[in-house]
Amino acid sequence: MRPVATPSGENPRRAIPSVERLLAAPAAQALVARYRREHVVDVVRDVLASVRRTATGGVPADAVLLERVAGRLAATAVPRLRRVVNATGVVLHTNLGRARLAEAAVAAVTEAAREAVNVELDLATGRRGERDALLADDLCALTGAEAGLVVNNNAAAVLLVLNTLAADRDVLVSRGELVEIGGSFRIPDVMAKSGARLREVGTTNRTHAVDYRAALGPATALVLKVHTSNYRVVGFTAAVDLAELVAIGREAAVPVFEDLGSGALVDLTAFGLPYEPVVRERLAAGVDLVSFSGDKLLGGPQAGIVVGRRDLVARLAVNPLRRALRPDKLTYAALGATLRLYRQSPDLTRDLPVLRWLTRPLADLEATGRAAAALLGSRLGDGYRIEVVASECEVGSGAVPVVAVESRALAIEHADVDPDRIAARFRAAHPPVLGRIHDGRFLLDLRGIFDPAELAVDLGS
Ligand SMILES: *Cc1c(COP(=O)(O)O)cnc(C)c1O
């Protein structure tokens, strides 16, 4: 950068051009043709302000300042939310947007985004309709529920249920189920915000039917069961069987609500995967309401789904909070398309990315790994060792806890390069590739990588 010479003794700040002078330059006019004028002016001001703060030895030429302006404008034009390659080994990674949508759901979102859609219009009568009518049919068919309703996420679903059914009254929860999920969802905090009073039952490791019975009283509005999906108390434990909990609720005429977290719509063991509670089974066991996420194992968009008794769902629907928690048309489009796949697809492992990832045979992962290793070899540079190794991945987002799913990974090592540095190089690629460090080695998990080219990114030098 060549500073403009300033006559000796003069204050170098004098030489700082005005905003008007810079904007009059042809290079600035080209920027104004490309970006909103106010935005260009703001960035010019910022650049001049930083020159003013730092100019001790002189002021750069106008052309140099305008290059800085152009650079900053280009940087602000880059989307902050970007495509990344998930080779972390966590299939439903909350930091990476959880489930990737099925193609049918992507198409439905695109259409709903581009066109007018009947989100609240009953096409048969021409009158105003209910958003939830768009999904009720599929939700009931898939879960055996009488009714269902959708909000923005499962945390919102829990809040809505507690506020509607138990504000200013008692909710019984086992101490062993007062969980925190994802570092921000804590049952006691959500309960407090809902206005319901938490009545802890039992102890952290053992809760018995007699504990629930003893806690029941005239102020009890609800029995809450939380699927402790992201951890498990092992050893000397006892949890009250669901059927027994349902019986306790029935005797006292108190509804039982289960926050299932992930909530599978199909039995995952049929695909050779670990067991995860199935929504239909919980309702069949007599639970009055069940809530679960749309973007965990279900494999759809972020949403919170509540299904169960018609009279209780009807009460949720008229709570004013519900208006504040309602999803937009894009969510209905994506969730509707995903639910229809569950009803209609003859092969969910083909059509639903979450299940396609989880059920992929290891030989397939190994083949992808060998092809990716061959492509990556030259891009990494000298001295790198790449091999396909056995690894374990997890479903993530609190689904199927503790149980790991067998996987394969590319291990990338260099005698003189720290695994953190290797990870940073992959993160800086276009698109960024995210792996993990395990036992001092950088690993790229292959379960979600179908095309070896996804890993063969430009790594710079
Ligand atoms: C994940 C989870 C939640 C929160 O669901 P979001 O859809 O992320 O809001 C609540 N309860 C349980 C048991 C969960 O696993």
**Any idea what the Cα angle at residue 138 is, between residues 137 and 140, rounded to 5°?**
70
Amino acid sitting at position 150 = V
For residue 353, the SS3 value is helix
What is the residue-averaged pLDDT of the chain?
Answer: 91
For the chain, state the CA radius of gyration.
28
Alpha-carbon 235 to chain mean position = 32
Average pLDDT over residues 64-79: 96
Does residue 8 have a pLDDT over 50?
A: no
Over residues 150-196, the pLDDT tens digits come to 999 999 999 999 999 999 999 999 988 887 776 678 888 999 999 99
Contact in structure between 198 and 169 (CB atoms under 8 Å): no
Measured in residues, the chain has a length of 461
| Closest-CA residue to 109 (of 330, 352, 335, 351) | 330
pLDDT value of residue 434: 97
Ligand 1 atom with minimal separation from the 155 CA: 9
Domain boundaries, the chain: 12-77, 85-93+358-454, 103-351
CA distance 225 to 177: 7
From atom 11 of ligand 1, which residue's Cα is the shortest distance away? Answer: 261
Ligand 1 center to 279 CA (angstroms): 14
CA of residue 102 to ligand 1 center, whole Å: 21
pLDDT of 459 strictly over 60: yes
Please report the pLDDT score of residue 336 as a whole number.
98
For residue 211, pLDDT beyond 60: yes
pLDDT of residue 207: 83
Q: Does ligand 1 come within 6 angstroms of the Cβ of 259?
A: yes
Give the β-pairing of 170-174 and 197-201. parallel
Residue-wise pLDDT tens digits, 286-296: 999 999 999 99
Contact 459, 425 (CB under 8 A): yes
In the chain, the percentage of residues whose pLDDT exceeds 70 is 93
Q: Is the pLDDT of residue 29 over 70?
A: yes
Ligand 1 pocket test target in 158, 185, 225 with most atoms within 8 Å of CB: 185
Give 292 Cα–ligand 1 centroid separation in angstroms.
7
Which comes out higher in pLDDT, residue 314 or 12? 314
Mean pLDDT for the stretch of residues 15-40: 95
Q: Is the CB of 255 under 6 A from ligand 1?
A: no
Which atom of ligand 1 is least distant from the CA of 294? Answer: 7
Does residue 273 have a pLDDT over 70?
A: yes
Site to probe by mutation for ligand 1, drawn from 181, 193, 282 as the one with most ligand atoms within 8 Å of Cβ, is 181
CATH 3.40.640.10: does it fit domain 103-351? yes
Report, as an integer, the average pLDDT of 84-94: 94
Whether the per-residue pLDDT at 204 is higher than 90: the answer is: no
Of 21-30, 45-54, 150-159, 222-231, which range is least confident? 222-231
- Which residue has the least CA distance to atom 5 on ligand 1? 154
pLDDT in tens, 300-344: 999 999 999 999 999 999 999 999 999 999 999 999 999 999 999
Ligand 1 atom 15: the closest Cα is on which residue?
261
Average pLDDT over residues 113-139: 95
* Residue partners of 353: CB distance under 8 A and separation at least 6: 99, 100, 101, 102, 299
Q: Is the dihedral of CA 97, 98, 104, 108 positive or negative?
A: negative
Cα of 180 from ligand 1 centre, angstroms: 9
Q: Whose CA is nearest to atom 1 of ligand 1?
A: 261
Residue 181 CA to ligand 1 center (angstroms) comes to 6
Whether the predicted pLDDT of 230 surpasses 60: no
Q: What local confidence, expressed as pLDDT, does residue 306 receive?
A: 98
- DSSP string for residues in 104-147: HHHHHHHHHHHS---TTB-TTTSSB--TTHHHHHHHHHHH--SE
Q: Which atom of ligand 1 is nearest to the CA of 230?
A: 15
Instruction: Please give the average per-residue pLDDT across 35-58, as a whole number.
Output: 91
Ligand 1 atom closest to 157 (CA): 9
**Cβ(190) to ligand 1 under 6 A?**
no
Judge whether residue 280 has pLDDT over 50. yes
Q: What percent of the chain has pLDDT over 90?
A: 79
pLDDT at 239: 72
Does residue 327 have its Cβ closer than 6 Å to ligand 1?
Answer: no
The alpha carbon of 409 and the centre of ligand 1 are apart by a number of angstroms equal to: 29
Q: Domain 85-93+358-454 adopts which CATH fold? A: Aspartate Aminotransferase, domain 1 (3.90.1150)
Evaluate: CB of 225 within 6 angstroms of ligand 1: no
- Decide if pLDDT at 31 tops 50: yes
Tokens 């968009």 label which residue?
Answer: 301
Cβ of 154 closer than 6 Å to ligand 1, yes or no, is yes
Residue 347 has pLDDT above 70, yes or no: yes
Reported in sequence order, the residue ranges of 296-440 that DSSP labels E, i.e. its strands, are 304-308, 384-393, 405-414, 433-434, 436-438
Distances (CA, A) of 299 to 104, 129, 339: 12, 27, 9
pLDDT bucket at 1, cuts 50 / 70 / 90 = very low
DSSP of 202-248, one letter per residue? S-SSB--HHHHHHH--TTEEEEEEE--TT----SS-B---HHHHHHH
How far does residue 373's CA lie from ligand 1's centre (Å)? 37
Q: Is 229 in the pocket of ligand 1 (CB under 6 A)?
A: yes
Q: Which two tokens stand for residue 178?
A: 């007062």
Whole-prediction pTM? 0.91
With a 6 A CB cut-off, is 368 part of the ligand 1 pocket?
no
pLDDT score of 6 more than 50:
no
Whether the pLDDT of residue 381 is over 80: the answer is yes
- Coil, strand or helix at 157: helix
